[in-house]
Amino acid sequence: MKKISLLCFVLLISFAAIAQNNLITNIPNRKTVTLNGKWQYIVDPYETGFYDYRYKELNEKNGGAYWNTDVPANKTALNEHSYTDKNMLQVPGDWNHQDPKFLYYEGTVWYKKSFDYKKPASGKVFLYFGAVNYRADVYLNGKKLGMHKGGFTPFNFEVPANLLKETNNFLVVKVDNKRFADEVPTLNTDWWNYGGITRDVKLVEVPENFIRDYFIQLKRASPGAAPAKNPEVEGWIKLNQKPVNGEKLTVEIPELKLKQQFTASDSITKIGFKLPKIQLWSPANPKLYRVIISSNQDKTEDKIGFRTIEASGKQVLLNGKPIFMRGISIHGEIPQEIRRAYSKADAMQLLGQARGLGCNMVRLAHYLHDETMERTADSLGILVWSEIPVYWTIDFGNKEVLNKAKAQLTEMITRDHNRASVIIWSVGNETPVSPTRTDFMHNLIIKAKELDQTRMVSAALEVNYSALKNLNEVNDPLGEFVDLVAFNEYLGWYGGLPDKCRTTNWATPYNKPLFISETGAGAKGGFHADSLTRFSEEFQEWYYKEQVAMLKRMPANFVGLSPWVLNDFRSPKRNNIYQEGWNRKGLIDDKGNKKKAYYVLKAYYEQKKQSAENQKKK
Ligand code: GCU
């Protein structure tokens, strides 16, 4: 067999991985028709619309199925399901905050949308969902288009040309957010299991042969080096099918008077070219360039920032320079309205709050957030940690579960691999150490690197607390495979009191950058007492003071933190008189009021920012 270089081998592997998924990217800039708005619904806890009375899955011929029209064929016809305007839910939006009867509801809800549609003269039409929690079975005019699992990642189905009608199309989505041990996440999470069609629904119109996806990022310079004066772009363009002979693919960046043409080699074509002098993207200068990608039949444009990011020795280098990540962890929730976040306004609120705290980085926990978050972070200049919900005790020994996690990882990376703000792909959080688990997680890390060699891969690791030596070691075996050694610590909340920090030191056997992905304490906003009283703002404030003092003694490879958490958030696991179904570790309470601890972290970040600027001047 002809010897092929390692790079070609990696590219072949990654092309294979990339070829597999059929997600269409850059949806915000595609030709689309929205199906957002009011949808009729039927609540179906017994799944009567899906199974017969013997609990066998109904098939298309069976009129009783709820994906079928609810209009009886004639007055004697027996039909026992009706979609009416009496029962309407807003899409996008979780169902839990839209009607008190749904507050704790976990089960099936059938959504129905009727719509007229002017079919395009030519080309293809896809049905795109930003996210549906958790399982979605999708039917159009009585035909099944497909099924998707995973509550936080996008998916699309091609709509057969003859299925769409000019008028009165009947779109039905069976949404089921029940939790199961062999799903991702599994049964137990410390967040509210909001159900429903939680993000945008769109018809996407593309030419017969269209650009399904592309990857246009700066090639990493040699390890530890800054990007060259004329940095190199390395990537690929993916068509939905084999190109016609000699088909040309073009990448244009008008502002740089750059136009590069490539001959399409296959459905995926590797591209590479040098850029003239550019403004590199960074939090201080979140420069985005308009980039136009075109093929014979298709053209799509995007806003892309060019930067390099890498873990190099004990440091994290952005554009070749060491950075300290002043971060905060964020849930995809708007606490004031007790609902899932999904809009540009929501992104501006959450990222605006993070900026107000002095952050240059956010950990979007524990699942992929709405695309508006990453695109807004791109323009605001905020670094992003993006994660899939491999959370706590997943069924690590189950191959199917690994495939489900890999599918979500692929969808996450595919949707956002052109976002400059995204610097870390996280494959999970607080997963218990065992060889089976470490293999499982290692497989995900390999997959992430197949899909994207330009970003760091990490996970929130377990800590080996050693009471004796006051030296806590982050020696989780998974540390060997991640680029950034990240861990969660709650020293002084889950274990002892905050002054425990005074005698505690941290270390890791890995010659890698070290990051605290969570630390925090609970406080009921407005509850004031002495600092020894848990859930008082004074206790939380004390906690942060002790943490900040300890952080000043961290080892040299300490590169940042993302405390837990920006806002109080809903959790069914939190039920004392201060919590009332809320995790109260927010630095901002559910009404939007800043707690005392907020100012402790803000001052620390101000000081870090100052010293970084002084460093730069030297
Ligand atoms: C864990 C977990 C979070 C949780 C937090 C807490 O570390 O990762 O999801 O909310 O701790 O206990 O508040």
Q: How far is the CA of 389 from the centre of ligand 1 (A)?
A: 13
Please identify, by atom number, the ligand 1 atom nearest to the C-alpha of residue 569: 10
The residues pairing with 285 across neighbouring beta strands, listed in sequence order, are 282
**Atom of ligand 1 minimally distant from the CA of 494:** 12
Mean pLDDT on 376-399: 98
Quote the pTM value: 0.96
Could you tell which of 186, 188, 190 is best to mutate to test the pocket of ligand 1, judged by most ligand atoms within 8 Å of the CB? 190
Atom of ligand 1 nearest to the CA of 460: 8
Q: Which residues contact 562 (CB under 8 A, 6 or more apart)?
A: 325, 327, 328, 329, 361, 362, 363, 385, 515, 516, 517, 518
CA 424 / ligand 1 centre spacing (Å): 19
| Confidence class for position 69, pLDDT limits 50, 70, 90 | confident
Whole-number Cα distances in Å, 37 to 42, 115, 153, 158, 197: 16, 11, 20, 22, 11
Peptide bond preceding 605 in cis form (omega within 30 of 0): no
When mean pLDDT is compared across 89-93, 199-203, 469-473, the lowest value belongs to 469-473
Kindly give the pairing relationship between strand 143-149 and strand 456-461. Answer: unpaired
Place of tokens 């029962």: 87
User: Is residue 539 predicted with pLDDT exceeding 70?
Assistant: yes
Kindly write down the DSSP assignment for every residue of 61-78, as one continuous string. Answer: T-TTSTTS--S-SSTT--
Which one-letter DSSP state was computed for residue 227? P
The CA distance from 155 to 157, in Å, is 7
Q: Which atom of ligand 1 is nearest to the CA of 366?
A: 9
Q: Are 282 and 428 in contact (CB under 8 A)?
A: no
Pocket of ligand 1 (CB under 6 A): 190, 366, 429-430, 488, 518, 564, 583, 585
Closest of 214, 216, 211, 237 to residue 297, by C-alpha: 211
The residue contributing the CA closest to ligand 1 atom 4 is 190
Q: How many Å lie between the centroid of ligand 1 and the Cα of residue 461?
A: 13
* CA-closest candidate to residue 555, choices 473, 441, 495: 473
> Residue 617 above 90 pLDDT?
no
**pLDDT, tens digit, for every residue of 485-535?**
999 999 999 989 999 999 999 999 999 999 999 999 999 999 999 999 999
* Ligand 1 centroid – CA 312 distance (Å): 29
Q: Report the alpha-carbon distance of residue 462 to residue 438 in Å, rounded.
A: 12
- Residue among 331, 490, 493, 518 whose CB has most ligand 1 atoms within 8 A, to mutate: 518
Query: Which ligand 1 atom is nearest residue 365's CA?
Result: 9
Distance from C-alpha of 418 to C-alpha of 423, rounded to nearest angstrom:
11
| Closest ligand 1 atom, residue 583 Cα | 13
Rounded percentage of the chain residues whose pLDDT exceeds 90 = 88
Instruction: Give me the helices (H) in 25-158, please.
Output: none
pLDDT at 430 exceeding the cut of 60:
yes
pLDDT value of residue 8: 57
How would DSSP label each residue in 570-609? E-TT--STTTTTEE---SB-TTSPBPHHHHHHHHHHHHHH
Q: How far is the CA of 384 from the centre of ligand 1 (A)?
A: 19
CA–CA separation, 162 and 148 (whole Å): 23
Identify the band that residue 10 occupies on the pLDDT scale cut at 50, 70 and 90.
low
What pLDDT score does 1 carry?
Answer: 41
- Report how far ligand 1's centroid is from the alpha carbon of 592 (Å): 20
Beta-bridge mates of residue 273: 233
Q: Residues 263-321: pLDDT tens digits?
A: 998 999 999 999 999 999 999 999 999 999 999 999 999 999 999 999 999 999 999 99
The rounded distance, in Å, linking the Cα atoms of 321 and 145 is: 48
Mutation probe of ligand 1 site: the residue of 583, 584, 587 with most atoms within 8 A of C-beta:
583
Tell me how far apart the alpha carbons of residues 361 and 354 are, in angstroms, rounded to a whole number.
8
For a substitution probing ligand 1, which of 564, 582, 583 has the most ligand atoms within 8 Å of its CB?
A: 564
The phi, psi pair for 374, rounded to 5°, reads -70, -35
Distance 472 CA to ligand 1 centre (A): 19
Distance from the CA of 560 to the center of ligand 1, in angstroms?
18
Euclidean distance between CA atoms 363 and 387, whole angstroms: 8
Measured in Å, residue 60 CA sits from the centre of ligand 1 at 44
Ligand 1 midpoint to CA 352 (Å)? 23
Mean pLDDT of 44-52: 96
pLDDT at 615 exceeding the cut of 90: no
For atom 12 of ligand 1, the residue with the nearest CA is 190
Q: Please say if the pLDDT value at position 577 is more than 90.
A: yes
Q: What is the pLDDT of residue 2?
A: 46
Q: Supply the residue whose CA is at minimum distance from atom 9 of ligand 1.
A: 190
pLDDT of residue 469: 64
Which ligand 1 atom minimizes the distance to the CA of 520? Answer: 13
- pLDDT for residue 471 is more than 90: no
Which ligand 1 atom lies nearest to the CA of residue 522? 13
Asked if the bond preceding 555 is cis, omega within 30° of 0, the reply is no
According to DSSP, residue 4 is labeled -
C-alpha 225/C-alpha 560 separation (Å) is 21
Comparing 53-57, 373-377, 397-401, the range with the smallest average pLDDT is: 53-57
**Average of per-residue pLDDT across 120-148:** 97
Per-residue pLDDT averaged across 128-133, rounded?
A: 98
Instruction: Give 190 Cα–ligand 1 centroid separation in angstroms.
Output: 6
Residue 3 one-letter amino acid: K
- Which atom of ligand 1 lies nearest, measured to the CA of 518? 7
Proportion of the chain in helix, strand, coil states, percent, rounded to 5: 20, 30, 45
Mean residue pLDDT of the chain comes to: 95
Gap from CA of 367 to ligand 1 centroid (Å):
13
294 beta partners: 250, 299
What is the per-residue DSSP string for 426-488? EEEESPPP-HHHHHHHHHHHHHHHHH-SSSEEEEEE--B--TTTTEEE---GGGGT-SEEEEE
Beta bridge partner(s), residue 487: 461, 516
Q: Whose CA is nearest to atom 3 of ligand 1?
A: 190
Q: How far is CA 267 from CA 216, 461, 508, in A?
A: 16, 38, 44
Mean pLDDT across the stretch 240-264? 96
**How many A from CA of 438 to the centre of ligand 1?**
20
37-43, strands of its sheet edge to edge: 88-91, 37-43, 108-115, 169-176, 135-140, 143-149
The Å distance, Cα 522 to ligand 1 centre, comes to 11
Residue 616 — very low, low, confident or very high, per pLDDT cuts 50/70/90?
Answer: confident
pLDDT of residue 220: 83
Question: What span, in angstroms and rounded, lies between the C-alpha atoms of 472 and 550?
Answer: 13
109 in Cβ contact with 121 (< 8 Å): no
In angstroms, rounded to a whole number, what is the distance separating the alpha carbons of residues 391 and 187?
10
